Chains A and B, each alone.
Chain A
């Protein structure tokens, strides 16, 4: 079966992704309410929305970093720009996200053109530092001089005396899409011990995420995508053949900036707030972590990475002493205390330590990320069942990032 100009394999791939996204509220709720393992459930709206939003962010980042190898350390700037735009539209017009989101994409595209035009004159580490410098500049400005636009440290939010010229009398007082209120759940069935939540906001972001994924799929398979890959593999050679690579890299930069702006806008659509801390360089670092962890340059990688990080961030931060005592309670006292003491380093507020360690391990041992890990395990099984995958006859794996 072929759909929407995709090959048979890609159609199947897209359908699987659509199924997984649509069924997320069920799939992420495998343990009954109140059971000991309910901590590991992730099927509640706030978290699922974050999966989708950061998935979009990482998919977009992957178009730049995964395909061209340009490592941007300033993508969070677009995230912030997107959020601010959407909240401003709430303030000026009304809570319908339909005005804000396209504008967020457009505004971040303008920013991306400017920043990309300047930054892309350099490559390698200089490019990283230029993007970092731009992002830090936006962050510092948002905190200081631009306070009339960004509301400084408080963060931008909607106040009662804002114009909101389009606000109708019966209109919802929180973000919505033509009356489809983001915070509402349209169905909350309880089946047996299981409780599922089907949330408007999640499905809204999920549908946008699927479209975003489809667009990235098309970019990956297009001649344009091939060109971007060529830039990663050997830019000098392209230059020798008389091809000017700058327009291609700029296009990739702008596209990924637009994805980031969209993700930022959606963040404000779920929660009508925008703060400067979204633009800080640690936030840019986070999307780099997601993309690398999942597997840069692969289609599924960034989504996996985003889901993985957000899931474990949520779960690990929830684990506290009483949960740990519950787990290790069957052990002798001394051992129990020791194990809990050790676990303290990795859970709760120290979750970032786990993330940092994990990330280092991935960069050192598994440069292809989780996707490569999965492929290796799959290859191991195939070998056991008598496959004939001879390493010498396989194409060499492409280098992880371009020089």
Chain B
């Protein structure tokens, strides 16, 4: 029992990332009808916004500290971050420590802007082109974005820590009545799951309970009628693209303490997220979220030693196997509507 709970918990953080990326992919596909292969790159850009912010806060200058001396008796030179000298050491240290969560505030406008530029500049011209063309052009874009990041940040993963308050693990098992030290779970992963739940809830309520969301949903169902009513649906869809980009971006920001960001993390997640979208059902938002968590948890179960002993290598292929089975038996996906992309 404890092993099962542990695996479910382990699957949650990866599942959250899959669900967030797949949610954005599905939003874009459902509104614009575009298959966006550059969505993983947006996730990666988000992660690097966090990296940049941490570096920015960490930028320092040399100062002579009169109170300390080095071994020769000269006054010691110490590196003082600019933020420390501007806001005082307390606020400065706090800013550096909390740079990853703070990066969300930066990432949202940045990603919205990236999304708008991408949609207006490139995707707009591909509404009417075949899906294969859309895949190809966004694949090209993904390469470009990836190489730009590689150019500026290098090819190696960059460690980006969580705030001190959330490093370390806590004993989840004791919370629900197990023996101590059976179910240990890192704080940050729990934070990530909570964060993903909030973001997913926010996106759903935005679509459900606002007028804007209602118009968007109407546009997804019947674009022409909405246009006939005199509504500029294109603009709203562009905004939705920006929102999808922002969701991917902040998902990347918060993921940095779990996985040190590198330039190809976007591509790695993209392939899996696409599989998630297909399993959930193209164009189905609840499907994308459900499949994201489902596959994340399945993957973590498959990596249990007991299961690997029975079927070697299953942890490497489980997601793809599920996708193949789903595609062959139920091509519309788990929660997809009948008739949507069911060829």
Interface residues of A (CB under 8 A from B): 69, 71, 118, 121-126, 128-130, 132-134, 136-137, 140-141, 143-146, 281-282, 285, 288-289, 292, 344-345, 349-350, 352-353, 355-357, 359-360, 363-364, 367, 399-403
Contacts and interface: CB of A to CB of B under 8 A. Distances in A.
Interface centre among B150, B267, B343 (most CB of A within 10 A): B343
Contact of B317 (A128, A137, A399): A137
B321 interface: yes
B313 A144 contact: yes
A118 B324 contact: yes
A126 B327 contact: yes
Given A129-B323, A133-B324, A353 B136 contact: no
A122 B130 contact: no
B343 A137 contact: no
A153 to B, nearest CB: 14
Contacts of B131: 124-125, 403
A69 B323 contact: no
Contact of B151 (A130, A144, A345): A345
B133 A134 contact: no
Contact of A122 (B132, B140, B327): B327
Interface in B140-158: 140-144, 146-148, 150-151
B328 interface: yes
B132 A352 contact: no
B185 interface: no
Contact of A145 (B133, B316, B321, B328): B316
A285 B264 CA distance: 14
Given A128-B132, A129-B323, A140-B316, A123 B140 contact: no
Interface of B: 35, 122, 125, 129-133, 135-137, 139-144, 146-148, 150-151, 267, 271, 274-275, 278, 282, 312-313, 316-317, 320-321, 323-324, 327-328, 331, 341, 343
Given A71-B132, A129-B274, A282-B267, A353 B148 contact: yes
Given A132-B271, A350-B150, A403-B130, A122 B143 contact: no
A357 B151 CA distance: 15
B143 A118 contact: no
A341 B342 CA distance: 49
Contacts of A121: 328
Contacts of A123: 343
Contacts of B327: 122, 126, 129-130
Contacts of A136: 271, 320
A128 B137 CA distance: 15
30 contacts: A121-B328, A124-B131, A125-B132, A126-B278, A126-B343, A128-B132, A128-B135, A129-B274, A129-B323, A134-B320, A134-B324, A137-B317, A137-B321, A140-B313, A141-B316, A281-B267, A285-B139, A344-B151, A345-B148, A350-B150, A353-B144, A356-B146, A359-B139, A359-B143, A360-B137, A360-B144, A364-B125, A400-B130, A401-B132, A402-B130
A71 B135 contact: yes
A355 B143 contact: yes
A310 to B, nearest CB: 16
